[in-house]
Amino acid sequence: MSMFFTIAVIVLVFLIIFQIAKASEYVSVIKGEEKARADQNKVNGFLMIAFLIAGLFGVYFCNKVLYPDTLLSHEAASVQGEKVDSMLWITIVITGVVFFITQILLFYFSYKYQESKKRKAYYYPHNNKLEVIWTAVPAIALTALIVFGLKNWFAFTGPAPKEALQVEITGKQFGWIFRYPGMDQTFGKKYYKLIDDANSNSLGQDWKDSKNFDDVVVSQTMYCVVNRPVNLRIFSRDVIHDVGLSEFRLKQDAVPGTPTSLWFTPKFTTKEMKEKLGKPDFQYEISCDQMCGNGHYSMKGVIEVVTQEEYDVWLAQQKPNYYTVFPDKDPSNQKPQLATDSTKTTASVKTTDVVKTKM
Amino acid sequence: MSNEASMHADTSVNVPVEVHHHEEHAHHHHHESFITKYVFSQDHKMIAKQFLITGMIWAVIGGLMSVLFRLQLGYPEEKFMWLQDLMGKWWFEDGHLTAQAYYALVTTHGTVLIFFVLTAGLSGTFANLLIPLQVGARDMASPLLNMLSYWFFFLASVIMFSSIFVSTGPFSGGWTAYPPLSALHDASPGSQHGMDLWLIAMAVFVVSSLLGGLNYIVTILNMRTKGMSMTRLPLTIWGLFFTAILGVLSFPVLLSGFILLIFDRNFGTSFYLSDIFVATTNTALPNEGGNAILFQHLFWFLGHPEVYIIALPAMGIVSEIISTNSRKPIFGYMAMVASFFAIATLSFLVWAHHMFVTGMNPFLGSIFVLLTLLIAVPSAIKVFNWLTTLWRGSIRFTPAMLFAIGFVSMFISGGLTGIWLGNSALDIHLHDTYFVIAHFHLVMGVASMFGMFAGIYHWFPKMYGRYLNNTLGYIHFWITMIGAYLIFWPMHYEGLAGMPRRYFDYSTWVSFNQFEGLNRVISIVAIIVFAVQILFLFNFFYSIFKGRKVTTQNPWESNTLEWTTPIHPGHGNWVGEIPEVHRWPYDYGKDGRNFIPQNVPVGENEASH
Ligand code: HEM
Ligand SMILES: [Cu+2]
Ligand SMILES: [Cu+2]
Strand positions, DSSP E, A183-338: 216-219, 221-225, 230-236, 241-245, 250-254, 260-264, 284-288, 300-306
CA dist B448 and B315 (Å) reads 8
A304 burial via Cβ count (<10 Å: 0-12, 13-18, 19+): middle
CA dist B547 and B465 (Å) reads 9
Residue B20 scores a pLDDT above 50: no
Residue B407 scores a pLDDT above 50: yes
Atom 40 of ligand 1: nearest residue by CA position: B176
Q: Which of A132-136, A333-337, B297-301, B583-587 has the lowest mean pLDDT?
A: A333-337
Number of domains in chain B: 1
* Å from CA of B420 to ligand 1 middle: 10
Asked if B340 is an interface residue toward chain A (Cβ–Cβ < 8 A), one would say no
Average pLDDT value for residue range B62-83: 92
Give residue-wise pLDDT tens across range A184-234.
Answer: 899 999 999 999 999 899 999 999 999 999 999 999 899 999 999 999 999
Q: Which of residues 128-167 of B touch A (CB under 8 A)?
A: none
Residue B305 scores a pLDDT above 90: yes
Domain layout of chain A by residue ranges:
32-116+131-157, 165-328
Cβ contacts of A83 on chain B, cutoff 8 Å? 425
Cβ contacts of A300 on chain B, cutoff 8 Å? 508-509
**Contact B393/A72, CB-based, under 8 Å?**
no
Helix (H) or strand (E) holding A175, with range, is: strand A175-180
Average pLDDT value for residue range A63-76: 94
Q: How many other CB atoms are found less than 10 A from the CB of residue B505?
A: 18
Asked if A103 is an interface residue toward chain B (Cβ–Cβ < 8 A), one would say yes
Inter-CA distances, A68 with B207, B248, B345, B428, B497, Å: 49, 47, 41, 22, 10
**pLDDT confidence of residue A342:** 43
A201: three-class secondary structure by DSSP = strand
- State the nearest Cα–Cα gap between A215 and chain B, in angstroms: 21
Average pLDDT value for residue range B114-142: 95
**Could you list the residue range(s) of the whole structural domain that residue B344 is in?**
45-587
Q: Find out whether A87 and B293 touch, Cβ atoms under 8 Å.
A: no
Chain A residue nearest residue B531, CA to CA = A10
Average pLDDT value for residue range A236-245: 96
Give residue-wise pLDDT tens across range B520-558.
Answer: 999 999 999 999 999 999 999 999 999 999 999 999 999
**pLDDT confidence of residue B103:** 96
Residue B265 scores a pLDDT above 50: yes
Helix (H) or strand (E) holding B278, with range, is: strand B277-278
**pLDDT confidence of residue A274:** 95
Residue B375 scores a pLDDT above 90: yes
Inter-CA distances, A187 with A176, A212, B422, Å: 17, 6, 36
- Per-position DSSP letters for B144-183, written without gaps between them: HHHHHHHHHHHHHHHHHHHHTTSTT-S--S-TT--TTTTT
Do the bridges between strand A300-306 and strand B92-93 make them parallel or antiparallel, or are there none, so unpaired?
unpaired
Nearest to B202 by CA among B111, B269, B129: B111
Nearest to A63 by CA among A105, A92, A94: A92
**pLDDT confidence of residue A335:** 56
**pLDDT confidence of residue A336:** 54
Nearest to B352 by CA among B311, B307, B303: B303
Q: Could you tell me if residue B23 is inside a domain?
A: no
Q: How confident is the model at residue B30 (pLDDT cuts 50, 70, 90)?
A: low
**Start-end of H helices in B88-234:** 99-111, 125-135, 143-163, 193-222
**pLDDT confidence of residue B35:** 78
Average pLDDT value for residue range B266-291: 93
**pLDDT confidence of residue B402:** 97
**pLDDT confidence of residue A358:** 38
**Contact B331/A125, CB-based, under 8 Å?**
yes
% pLDDT > 90, chain A: 73
Q: Could you tell me if residue B78 is inside a domain?
A: yes
Global pTM value: 0.91
**pLDDT confidence of residue B568:** 93
Residue B405 scores a pLDDT above 50: yes
Average pLDDT value for residue range A77-83: 95
Side chain identity at residue A273, one-letter code: M
Q: How confident is the model at residue B397 (pLDDT cuts 50, 70, 90)?
A: very high
DSSP state of B232: G
**pLDDT confidence of residue A224:** 94
Atom 12 of ligand 1: nearest residue by CA position: B354
- Indicate the average pLDDT of chain B: 91
**pLDDT confidence of residue B395:** 95
**pLDDT confidence of residue A339:** 47
Average pLDDT value for residue range B69-74: 94
User: Which of A120-134, B88-102, B244-258 tops mean pLDDT?
Assistant: B244-258
DSSP state of B548: P
Q: How many other CB atoms are found less than 10 A from the CB of residue B375?
A: 24
**Contact A20/B279, CB-based, under 8 Å?**
no
% pLDDT > 70, chain A: 92
Q: How many other CB atoms are found less than 10 A from the CB of residue B574?
A: 22
Residue A338 scores a pLDDT above 90: no
- State the nearest Cα–Cα gap between A294 and chain B, in angstroms: 6
% pLDDT > 70, chain B: 95
Q: Angle formed by the axes of helices B193-222 and B235-266, to 10°?
A: 150
Q: Which of residues 322-341 of A touch B (CB under 8 A)?
A: none
Atom 33 of ligand 1: nearest residue by CA position: B440
Residue B26 scores a pLDDT above 50: no
A147: which residues sit within 8 A by CB, 6+ positions away? none
**pLDDT confidence of residue B86:** 87
Side chain identity at residue B455, one-letter code: G
Which one of B366, B396, B417 has the shortest CB-CB distance to A150? B366
B3: which residues sit within 8 A by CB, 6+ positions away? B139, B141, B142, B143
Q: Could you tell me if residue B9 is inside a domain?
A: no
Give residue-wise pLDDT tens across range B440-455.
Answer: 999 999 999 999 999 9
Q: How confident is the model at residue B75 (pLDDT cuts 50, 70, 90)?
A: very high
CA dist B532 and B31 (Å) reads 40
Q: Which residues of B2-19 are buried (b: 16+ CB within 10 A; e: fewer)?
A: ebeeebeebbeebeeeee
Average pLDDT value for residue range B111-133: 96
Q: Find out whether B200 and B155 touch, Cβ atoms under 8 Å.
A: no
CA dist B450 and B404 (Å) reads 7
ipTM attached to this prediction: 0.91
Average pLDDT value for residue range A66-88: 95
Average pLDDT value for residue range B551-566: 94
- Indicate the average pLDDT of chain A: 89
- Counting ligand 1 atoms within 8 A of each CB, the residue from B111, B384, B440, B444 with the most, and so the one to mutate, is B440
Q: Could you tell me if residue B11 is inside a domain?
A: no
% pLDDT > 90, chain B: 87
Asked if B333 is an interface residue toward chain A (Cβ–Cβ < 8 A), one would say yes
CA dist B330 and B580 (Å) reads 22
Report residue A165: phi and psi, to 5°. -70, 130
Cβ contacts of A287 on chain B, cutoff 8 Å? 498, 500, 509, 511-512
Q: Find out whether B157 and B255 touch, Cβ atoms under 8 Å.
A: no
**Start-end of H helices in B279-374:** 292-326, 333-346, 362-374
- Per-position DSSP letters for B575-595, written without gaps between them: SSSPPP--S-TT-BSGGG-SB
**pLDDT confidence of residue B31:** 64
CATH superfamily of A165-328: Cupredoxins -  blue copper proteins (2.60.40.420)
Average pLDDT value for residue range A19-32: 87
Q: Which of A93-107, A317-331, B499-513 has the lowest mean pLDDT?
A: A317-331
Give residue-wise pLDDT tens across range B237-262.
Answer: 999 999 999 999 999 999 999 999 99
B468: three-class secondary structure by DSSP = coil
CA dist B25 and B107 (Å) reads 44
Which one of B184, B333, B419 has the shortest CB-CB distance to A125? B333
CATH of the domain at B471: 1.20.210.10
Average pLDDT value for residue range B54-72: 95
Residue B430 scores a pLDDT above 80: yes
Side chain identity at residue A333, one-letter code: N
Give residue-wise pLDDT tens across range B197-214.
Answer: 999 999 999 999 999 999
Q: Could you tell me if residue B1 is inside a domain?
A: no
